[in-house]
Structures are given as C-alpha cells and as structure tokens.
Chains A and B, each alone.
Chain A
Amino acid sequence: MAQIRVEALDKSFGTFHAVKAASFTVEDGQFLCLLGPSGCGKTTTLRMIAGLELPTAGTIRLGGEDVTMNRASARDIAFVFQLFALYPHMNVRRNIGFPLKCEGIDAVERERRVVEVARILRISHLLDSSVSGLAGGDRQRVALGRAIVREPKCFLMDEPLGALDTEMREAMIHELRALHDRLGATTVYVTHDQLEAMAMADMIAVMNDGVVEQVASPRDIYDRPASLFVADFIGSPPMNFLPFRGSLEAGAQTIRLGEHEVAVPAAREALAESDLVLGVRPEHVRFTDRGMVRGEVYGSEYLGTTQIVTVTTRYGALKARSPASVSFRTGESVGLDFRPDTLSIFDKESGRAIRTALYEGGAHG
C-alpha cells in the first residue's frame, strides 16, 4: 500500500484540454473519490494514474516513486473497470488468477490465493462457472477479486457500480467500503454519483471541466464548498443561490441583500464592490413570519420525512427543506430567513468562495 501524489497533471487530446493542472494527494490507506459530471476529466485522471494514458505534463508518484512515464504493468496497481472487463474465454477461477499468472506465480500458490479471495468476496461457489452466466453483482465481485488477489500498491476504480441496478449498488457500496477497511488499501474511486462518493470516501476531489475544484472530506465538501460549482453539484436539491451586489470589509458580519441586512459568518477578507452570490442550503432556510425574504409557495415535493418546498421570491425560486408534517398551500405567502452561521458567499465572476469564519472549520451543523 502506498501514498498517491498527483502534481500539476495535464492532459490534452489534440486541441481538447481534458485535465488542467490537477493536484491532489491520497494518503496511504485513504479512500478518495474523484467526483464530477461526465466529461470533467475524472476518468482521464484515473487512467493517467493507472498508466493507461500518458500525461502531457505533471508528475505522478506512487509511494514516493515517480512513475509518471512507467508502463501500466510496472506500476503495481489494480484497476476495476465499469464494464468489469472479465475475460469471457476464462472461467471465474482463471479470471481471478490471471494477474498472478502474469507475475509467474506457481499454480499451488495461485490456487491458495484465489480460494482465499473468493472466500472474502463470498463467491467460492462460483469459482468454476463461466463469467458470462453471472449476475451483475457477482461479476463485480469477480472483477474485485481479480484486483485484490495481487495485493497491489493501490486500487483504482472507474465507476465500478455504474452498471449495477440500484438495489445491488446500495449493497455493493457497503461491501466495497467494508473491503477497503479490511484491506486498508489506498483507493481512488471515480464516480459521478455524489451519494456514492459521500457514502464511501474519506476524501472527495470534485472535478469540473478538467479542473480539481476542491479536495476535502465529504462533510467539508458539503458544508464549506470552495466554489459555486461544488456548491451547485453537491446536494440534492443543490444549494440556493441569491445574487447580489455589494462590498465586504474584513470582519463584516452582515451583508446587504436588497433592503435587508443578512447576518453571515464573519468575512476574513475585504472586497471592493462586485457581483456576489449568497449560498444557502435548502435545510438552512427557515419559515418564519418575521422572515426578511417574502415569497409565494410554488409547490412542494414530498420525500417521506421531509419535503422540498419551492418558494418564488424576488431573488428567484428558493428551495427549502421542511418537515413533512407542515402543510403548505400553493400560492400561500410565506416569510423566510437563513441560518447565519451556515451561509456561503461566492464571487460571481470567478465562482470562488469568499473566506469567512465558516471556512475556518468552526461552525457547521
């Protein structure tokens, strides 16, 4: 097992700049998710770590060793593909044993390790079946078996659950995380599904348009998004954005939104007058008659324990999460206010989050 260090990684395909100066570190034994919409460069980044693509610039270190230009087979990594890539002309046993055979490990030792891996993954009874007859989840287990049998330096997984149905996926999320904890293997996991990433990862690297927007723990990604993109991408429904124009002094604890003063976490930088955006998670919107923002209920979405209420206001449509027990009539006039210590402020132009007390790790909840 080893640390993975990616430094200023760049990749262009002709004129298309797929990955732009991506940098992050995955500590030994950590589970990192590369999260982003399709086409954001996350898979390309993973393939560069694997050695399936060569970077245009930048370095990749595995356990301190520079492997940027090494062949995939010389990196001692394991890769789990979305489509599993089980060799159809081999049965389960030979599929799992294949990497060991490539390394020239003798048949007795090979058999011992294949059986052991099959036991861990609970597929012992399938060892002699053909891979083409297996169900999705079992195929995924065989693919995992092929990855873990060699005890590589790290695991790279490219949307390994993408081809499974929802129910199987739920189960495999827990299995994968349990397997990770058991093996303590450094893992980089690519997904576009934020729930998968939130449920499994120690650290999430959010990518957009080839750029790593933020690398942080799932909680920090959610509570302290570093950019408008991250705030918008993470969370369902995403964060509400209220655009406003204003300036900011260091230490200021309020901003001016229209004619209202809104309390925010203390600013840690000064800003000249510019276009800004106030970010509010739906669960931090409170209904109160004395609320500073007024609007009309447009509709609500019942989710069981909570509901998402859409309210049209002069700042646009805001979504608020409220207990399902409260009932709202469409067209009803309501007042809203926001929990001050949870608000984010972004610079509209660059999308960057303004440094405030929130980002010092003090307040969240």
Chain B
Amino acid sequence: MSTANAAHSVVEPSAGTRRFAGSLVILYAVITMIPLIWIVLTSFKSPDDAISYPPKVVFSPSFEGFCNLFTTRSRQTPEFIQTLGPPQGLCDSIARSRNMVVAGPSNYVPRFVNSLIIAFGSTVLAVALGTLSAYGFSRFRVPLKDDLLFFILSTRMMPPIAVAIPIYLMYRTIGLSDTRLGMILLYTSVNVSLAVWLLKGFIDEIPREYEEAAMIDGYTRFQAFVKVVLPQATTGIAATAIFCLIFAWNEYAFAVLLTSGNAQTAPPFIPIIIGEGGQDWPAVAAGTTLFLVPIVVFTVLLRKHLLRGITFGAVRK
C-alpha cells in the first residue's frame, strides 16, 4: 500500500515513509522465501533432525540427504562391513555409519536429465512455433483469424485432468507413452497457445514499417523477419520462454500418468524417494533444491532481456 502510494505521489516521500515501505517489501520477501529456505535447510539435515519436534533451526549440517538422493544403499551386518576396504568417498562413509553400503547410483540424475531435455525441448519448440504463428496472425489477413485465435486459447481452458485419460490411451496406441518425444510434444502443445497469444501482443507492438523498410531495401519477408523483427521481439521471446519453461519444468499430473521407467521427469520422482522407515525428507529436500537451480539460472540469464525495452524511443508515435 505504502509503496503504491509512494509511486504515485507527486511529493517526494519522506524518509520515514521510505523506511516503512522498504521494511514492508523485505517482510514480504522473507515470508515468500521461508518455504524455500526451509527446503534448503532440510536438505542439509540428518533424517532425525529433519523430523524432530520442535523443528530445529540450528543443527549440525550433514550431506546425508544429498548422498541418499544420488545413491541406492543396502543394509549389511557390521561384520560384513568390516571385511570391506576403506570407505570410498564421503557418501560411503556416511552409509557405513548407519550399517549400510552404497549399492549404486540412484535414478535422480537420469530423471533430472529427462526433465532438462523435455522442458528445454518443449520450450524451444513452443517458442519457435509461437513466434512464427504470432507473426502470421499479426501481419497477414488470416481467414477466420479471431476464431482461430480463440480456438488456440481454448485449449488452455480445459483442466489437464480432463484430457489425461484420452491422451494416455492415444499415446499408448501410437507408442509415445513414456517417451521423451511424447512429453516434448505434449508440453509444446500446451505451451504453444500461451506462446502465440503472448508473442502476438509483442509483435503487434513492432511497427510494420521496419519489415517494409527492410523488404524495400532488398530483403525477402523471411529475412526481414529474422534480421529485423526477431531482434526487436527478444524481450517478448525471453518472457514467453520463461513462462513456457516454468510450466514444462514443474508439470506433474501428465508426468505421473504418462511416464515411468524411461522418460520419467524429476517432479514425479522426487516425492517418492523412500529411505529407511518411510519418507527420506532430507533426500527429498535435496532433490527439490537442485531442481530449482536450472530455472533460477535461466531466469537470471534472461533477466536483462526482460528489463530492456529495446524499441523504446526508436519510433516516434
């Protein structure tokens, strides 16, 4: 409230108002950050600390969660463990302290790689298709344009669960079930409607004169599109890509239904990491923490495109 008033006020806000506004923003940020911080903290707790009550804020950090995330372990007798050589690495020694030995890598890395391939693949595809069709809708007289645009948008109106069963049956029939290609196509088809609508707005804002000037200067329409329109649409493309990526990266319902051993992504995998005696919360938290990293990196990388309005001031309206 206070920040909003400050932004619209003609009078320079007083130091007190500013401090108050600043502390409100910080408070909101902290409230938003608490679940994230808790997850990161949990990933460094031992299983006992993770479920202790009252919750521990101060604890001795442990890498057990990360070790359990990346490995599978088997329980052995202490006598057998003594017959083995010295522990191989940190995770092995943590496992041995609990009378276990590392049996092999877990499925987390392949699931994570699936997530990367499927999310980025579908984002690239959705943004590419979206840009081309948005340009078409924006610049050409397309018959039934408004109906087509509404139809494209209407694919978003259905709850995913309503189409899950038909898609499951279709995918099984045509052999796309539990494949990366299948998931890429599915997420692309969901995202493309968002991409078309978002990008059409951005491309409508770019005056046609730019392409027309380029076409008169000797470019074909496609060259003009690539060399003149795309550079000016970067802001819109970046924003659209982030939205598409976040959707595809976090998608859970279709991933649970359509993937299992081969193309399973990280979201359905992380919650089912089971340790000794039930859910292995530190491992789940560790999986979640690492799962956040790509989105954060991608958003930070594209941040400058999101902020930069490069067309500003080049055309006088």
Contacts and interface: CB of A to CB of B under 8 A. Distances in A.
10 contacts: A51-B216, A73-B215, A79-B212, A84-B315, A87-B228, A87-B314, A98-B214, A131-B314, A132-B314, A133-B313
A89 B231 contact: yes
Interface in B133-178: none
Interface in B269-317: 310-317
A28 to B, nearest CB: 20
B140 to A, nearest CB: 13
B225 interface: no
B123 interface: no
A252 interface: no
Contacts of B219: 73, 102
Contact of A85 (B220, B310, B312, B315): B315
Contact of B232 (A81, A89, A131): A89
A52 B224 CA distance: 13
Interface string B55-75: 000000000000000000000
B210 interface: yes
Nearest to A135: B316
Interface string A126-170: 000001110010010000001000100000000000010000000
Top 5 A-B pairs ranked by shortest CB distance? Answer: A88-B314, A102-B218, A85-B209, A99-B217, A132-B313
B217 to A, nearest CB: 4
A72 interface: yes
B228 A84 contact: no
A146 B228 CA distance: 15
B307 to A, nearest CB: 16
B228 A81 contact: no
Interface centre among B214, B215, B231, B315 (most CB of A within 10 A): B315
Contacts of B312: 88, 132
Contacts of A102: 214, 217-219
A81 B314 CA distance: 13
A255 interface: no
Interface string A83-110: 1111111000000001100110000000
A345 to B, nearest CB: 44
B217 A81 contact: no
A320 to B, nearest CB: 40
B315 A83 contact: yes
B216 A87 contact: no
B217 A89 contact: no
B105 interface: no
Contacts of B87: none
Interface in A276-310: none
A52 to B, nearest CB: 5
B228 A163 contact: no
Contacts of B313: 88, 132-133
Contacts of A99: 217-218
Contact of B207 (A75, A77, A79, A85): A85
A211 interface: no
Given A52-B215, A88-B311, A102-B219, A83 B232 contact: no
A75 B215 CA distance: 11
Contacts of A85: 207, 209-210, 212-213, 315
Contacts of B216: 50-52, 72-73, 75, 77-79
Contacts of B217: 73, 98-99, 102, 146, 150
Contact of B317 (A51, A83, A146): A83
A51 B220 CA distance: 12
A51 B216 CA distance: 8
Interface residues of B, number: 23
Interface in A326-364: none
A88 B316 contact: no
B17 to A, nearest CB: 34
A73 to B, nearest CB: 5
Contacts of B310: 88-89
Contact of B215 (A72, A86, A146, A150): A72
A139 B316 contact: yes
A136 to B, nearest CB: 6
A102 B213 CA distance: 12
Interface string B215-241: 111111000000010011000000000
Interface string A53-82: 000000000000000000111010111011
B232 A73 contact: no
A139 B317 CA distance: 13
Contacts of A89: 231-232, 310
Contacts of A88: 232, 310-315
A87 B215 CA distance: 13
A352 to B, nearest CB: 37
Interface centre among B207, B218, B231, B313 (most CB of A within 10 A): B218
Interface in A29-69: 50-52
A84 B207 CA distance: 10
Contacts of B213: 79, 81, 85, 87, 146
A150 B217 CA distance: 9
Nearest to B315: A83
Nearest to A163: B316
Given A131-B314, A133-B313, A136-B316, A87 B218 contact: no
Contact of A83 (B207, B220, B228): B207
A146 to B, nearest CB: 7
Nearest to A73: B218
A98 B310 CA distance: 19
Nearest to B211: A85
B317 to A, nearest CB: 7
Interface in B161-207: 207
A81 B209 contact: yes
A241 to B, nearest CB: 38
Given A87-B210, A99-B217, 5 more contacts: A72-B215, A83-B209, A83-B316, A84-B315, A98-B217
A78 B218 CA distance: 10
